[in-house]
Amino acid sequence: MRIARHASVPVMLNPAPIGPFPPEILSLATVIVANEVEAASLVPQAAGDHGSELAGLERHAPRAVITLGRQGAALHGEGGAVVLQRAFPVRAVDSVGAGDAFCAGLAVALCEGYPFEAAVCLGQAAGALAATAPGAQAALPVRSAVEELLRRDGTFRSLSAFRIDDDERRLDTESTAGFAH
């Protein structure tokens, strides 16, 4: 993580399984993705308030998201208000790979230049689809399935409409180190 940070390469940290995470490690992340248990452990003084948990996580990293399973995901929107994105309704079979799929979808979308809120939505779609099949790796959805879920749901008419052009991206380790938002 230190090498990546020094090279201005974005780093996404998913502190799972939860354990002691020294603040200096958390501070090397560009984005922290935590579930409810992890967020509560990392920011115990928040007492389960997602806005306070996000603020606590964002004292270390420029952006954070808390995954809430069937309740969706919590993040700070552009104006700083807490945004609760709803989950995609699916018939869940096994949630073991949902968090990994969420992180993969989020990372892909951020690297492709999607704004943070749109990237979280793409991550949520990937996580929801992963929960519809047993196992972890075998349940990871292909991109076309994620895009189809987003189209069927009406969330995005076209994901490409949300992309940031390359000339609008910045490598800025003080904000989101190359992740457009």
pLDDT tens by residue, 121-156: 999 999 999 999 998 898 999 999 999 999 888 776
Last residue of a domain, one of 31, 63, 87: 87
Q: Name the percent of the chain lying above pLDDT 90.
A: 66
**Residue tagged 């940031």 (tokens):** 164
User: Mind listing the pLDDT tens digit for each residue in 85-112?
Assistant: 999 999 999 999 999 999 999 999 999 9
**pLDDT higher at 161 or 136:** 136
**pLDDT higher at 17 or 131:** 131
In a domain? residue 79: yes
In a domain? residue 143: yes
Q: What is the pTM of this model?
A: 0.84
Burial 131-160 (b: 16+ CB within 10 A, else e): bbeeebeebbbeeeebbebbeeeebbeebe
Give which of 47, 2, 49 is closest to 22, Cα–Cα.
Answer: 2
Helix H or strand E encompassing 70: none
Examine the domain organization and report whether 7 and 69 are in the same domain. yes
Is residue 167 part of the annotated active site? The answer reads no
Examine the domain organization and report whether 144 and 118 are in the same domain. yes
Of 27-31, 76-80, 99-103, 160-164, least confident by mean pLDDT is 160-164
**pLDDT higher at 18 or 64:** 64
Q: What's the confidence (pLDDT) of residue 167?
A: 44
> Quick check: 64 and 15 in contact, CB under 8 A?
no
Instruction: Choose the catalytic residue: 49, 94, 100, 153.
Output: 100
Helix H or strand E encompassing 173: none
For 106, the domain range is 88-155
